Chain A
Amino acid sequence: GQQVMQIPQYQHVQEGEDFTTYCNSSTTLSNIQWYKQRPGGHPVFLIQLVKSGEVKKQKRLTFQFGEAKKNSSLHITATQTTDVGTYFCAGAHSSASKIIFGSGTRLSIRP
């Protein structure tokens, strides 16, 4: 079936280092959303990308949607302890009626 693959599964960084998580699909996505789930919490919507090649920024977070609309990335510059959590991408394939979540990347940070 249609899947959205996300890597890496885990990332452990020193505070202040950068962090990137990647999502890939074998077929074109109509849009992609990013969510953050803090430990013990629930997923919270961060952003949605719709256009080919789109780049959006939220403070230290940069979100990109690939030109072919098959991949996306989330980059965090100079991580802080508040960035700890699991980041999920969620993509919808053009022909599908449901959004599919990636497996998530768990970010942990050494102070």
Chain B
Amino acid sequence: DSGVTQTPKHLITATGQRVTLRCSPRSGDLSVYWYQQSLDQGLQFLIQYYNGEERAKGNILERFSAQQFPDLHSELNLSSLELGDSALYFCASSATGTVNTEAFFGQGTRLTVV
């Protein structure tokens, strides 16, 4: 158990809909990262937050947004969903958010868009 909690584990929704994925980082970790992993693909970095502020942005679509709340949990909002958005979405957390800090991954949320 990495200590990072993601909910829900599975999500099935229709095209055009909006969903929210939730992540609770490890106790004490200030930074949260979101990644997208499509079938048989690598990990595509979406966005990073550190102590409530956006720290770094990757290949995140405009239809996607995220935020980190004062209690440090984070939410990833995906809107106007398309079939191609079906993927495993991972949240990871780290203590300091610097690039030389180990990241701990959650179990992921598997999103299926039908």
| A82 contacts chain B at the CB level, 8 A cutoff | no
Which residues on the A side are within 8 Å of B106 (C-beta)?
42
Name the prevailing secondary structure of the B interface residues: loop
User: CA separation between A97 and B54, bound complex, in Å?
Assistant: 12
- Give chain B residues whose Cβ lies under 8 Å from the Cβ of A88: 42-43
| Nearest CB in chain B: distance from A74 CB, A | 15
- Contact-residue bracket for chain B: 20 to 34
B100 contacts A42, C-beta separation under 8 Å: no
B102 touches A98 (CB 8 A): no
- Which A residue's beta carbon lies closest to that of B104? A45
List 5 additional contacts besides A45-B104, A88-B43, A101-B42; criterion CB under 8 Å. Answer: A42-B107, A44-B105, A50-B100, A98-B56, A104-B42
Of all chain A residues, the one with the shortest Cβ separation from B105 is A42
A42-B108, A43-B90 known; A30-B99 Cβ under 8 A: yes
Chain B: residues with CB nearer than 8 A to chain A? 2, 35, 40-45, 48, 55-56, 58, 90, 92, 99-100, 102-108
A48 near B43: Cβ-Cβ < 8 Å: no
Bound Cα distance from A106 to B41, whole angstroms: 10
Contact B90 A30 (CB under 8 A): no
Q: Does A79 contact B (CB under 8 A)?
A: no
CA distance A41 to B37 in the complex (A): 12
Contact with B43, one of A30, A43, A96 (Cβ below 8 angstroms): A43
Query: How many angstroms from the CA of A9 to the CA of B105 in the assembled complex?
Result: 22
Are A33 and B102 interface neighbours, CB within 8 A? Answer: yes
15 contacts between A and B (CB under 8 A): A31-B99, A42-B108, A43-B92, A44-B105, A45-B104, A92-B100, A97-B55, A97-B99, A98-B55, A99-B45, A100-B45, A101-B42, A101-B44, A103-B41, A106-B40
Interface positions, chain A 64-88, Cβ under 8 Å from B, are 88
Check B45 against A42 for contact (C-beta < 8 Å): no
B residues in contact with A99, CB < 8 Å: 45, 99, 103
| Chain A residues closer than 8 Å to B90, beta-carbon distance | 42-43
